[in-house]
Every structure is written in structure tokens, then in C-alpha cells.
């Protein structure tokens, strides 16, 4: 079985998730800058979640390069990941509308933790289907980032009950560690092509 439809369906779901979040950015009734400014918590929640879903799409794009065959378990591991990601618009809106209040910030962290826990299962199913070749070894090399992410999410969820902005800083930190060193993996792939 080919991976074409798996990619197409995942792209579709991720594109919809990333886009329907903007529906929670409801236009204010007054035509003033103050009314617009009052939306900053909703807007910044949106921007943060856009970044997150973008990172997942980007990593999914990279991970699927390692996939040659698809089986039922892999399809379900992928749907499981998409399920948790599909809840991000909900937690994003809740956090934004409540101006980063304690419980919504903790639950937002939980909604980021769940796909982070779903990701290793997806990797595992891919390795199981394909055996341990070199491309997947470099993918597993990324597990270090995955483990740090999970630790930071847990820290953020706990910190939300002490200082909500520290919690958000934890979430932002995870986004940055995924956003920035992405190039290292690419260069690894390019190196292996040059060999």
C-alpha cells in the first residue's frame, strides 16, 4: 500500500486544523484599535498554536520521507496523532478567551503533551514496518528532542498553577527547540546522499 493517501489525508486534516483556529478569532463589534487590542490573548494563542501545528506538519513531512510502505497499524497511529492535534483549536480558544488563566493554560499544555506522546508510537510503527535502516536511525536520533519536549510540557503544566507566564515560556521553549535545529537533520540526510 502506498503512502500517498496517508500524506494527503494528514495534509488535509492539518491544513483544516491550522485554518479553523482562525474562526475563534471573532471580529470585535467595535471598529476601534482598543477593541482589536483586547484580542491580543486570542491572537497570541492562535499564533503559538499555528507555530505548533506548523512544526508537526513540517516534522510529519520529514518523517514520511522514511516511509515506503503503509499498514493498518501505521494508519491508526497516524490517526491517533491527528486526533490529539484536532483538539488544539479547542484548547487554544479556551486559553485565549480566558486570558491565559491557570486551568486553561495547564489544559493547553496537556493538549500539546498528548500529540508529543503520540509521536513516538507513530515512529515505532514505521520502524516496525521498515526495519531499522539509516534514515530512521537519524529519526530516532531526534528522540532526544522528543524527551526534552515531554519534560518541558510536564514542567509547564505543573508551573501553570504557580505562574502561568512561566508555563507559556515552557511551551514556547519547546516550539523553539523544534523550530531551530531542524537543519541539522537535513544536513545529515544530505551528507548520507553525498556518501
Binding site for a second copy (CB under 8 A): 1, 5-9, 11-20, 22-25, 27-29, 31-33, 36, 47, 50, 54, 57-58, 61-62, 64-65, 71-73, 75-76, 79, 82-83, 86-87, 89-90, 93-94, 97-98, 101-104, 107, 179, 182-183, 186
Least CB distance to a second copy at residue 59 (A): 10
Least CB distance to a second copy at residue 156 (A): 16
- 146-158: string of b/e by CB count within 10 Å (b at 16+)? beebbebbebbbe
Question: In whole angstroms, what is the distance from residue 28 CA to residue 60 CA?
Answer: 35
Toward a second copy, which CB reaches closer, 121 or 179? Answer: 179
Toward a second copy, which CB reaches closer, 66 or 152? Answer: 66
Toward a second copy, which CB reaches closer, 46 or 153? Answer: 46
Toward a second copy, which CB reaches closer, 90 or 169? Answer: 90
Amino acid at each position: 500500500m502506498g503512502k500517498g493517501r496517508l500524506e494527503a489525508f494528514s495534509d488535509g486534516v492539518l491544513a483544516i486544523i491550522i485554518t479553523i483556529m482562525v474562526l475563534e478569532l471573532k471580529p470585535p463589534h467595535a471598529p476601534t484599535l482598543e477593541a482589536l487590542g483586547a484580542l491580543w490573548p486570542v491572537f497570541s494563542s492562535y499564533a503559538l498554536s499555528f507555530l505548533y501545528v506548523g512544526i508537526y506538519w513540517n516534522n510529519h513531512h520529514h518523517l514520511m520521507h522514511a516511509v515506503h510502505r503503509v499498514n493498518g497499524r501505521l494508519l491508526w497511529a497516524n490517526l491517533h496523532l491527528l486526533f490529539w492535534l484536532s483538539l488544539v483549536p479547542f484548547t487554544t480558544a479556551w486559553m485565549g478567551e480566558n486570558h491565559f488563566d491557570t486551568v486553561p493554560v495547564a489544559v493547553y499544555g496537556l493538549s500539546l503533551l498528548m500529540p508529543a506522546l503520540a509521536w513516538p508510537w507513530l515512529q515505532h510503527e514505521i520502524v516496525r514496518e521498515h526495519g531499522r535502516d539509516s534514515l530512521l536511525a537519524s529519526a530516532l536520533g531526534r528522540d532526544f528532542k522528543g524527551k526534552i519536549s515531554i519534560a518541558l510540557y510536564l514542567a509547564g503544566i505543573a508551573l501553570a498553577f504557580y505562574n502561568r507566564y512561566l508555563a507559556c515560556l515552557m511551551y514556547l521553549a519547546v516550539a523553539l527547540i523544534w523550530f531551530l535545529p531542524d537543519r541539522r537533520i537535513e544536513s545529515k540526510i544530505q551528507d548520507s546522499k553525498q556518501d
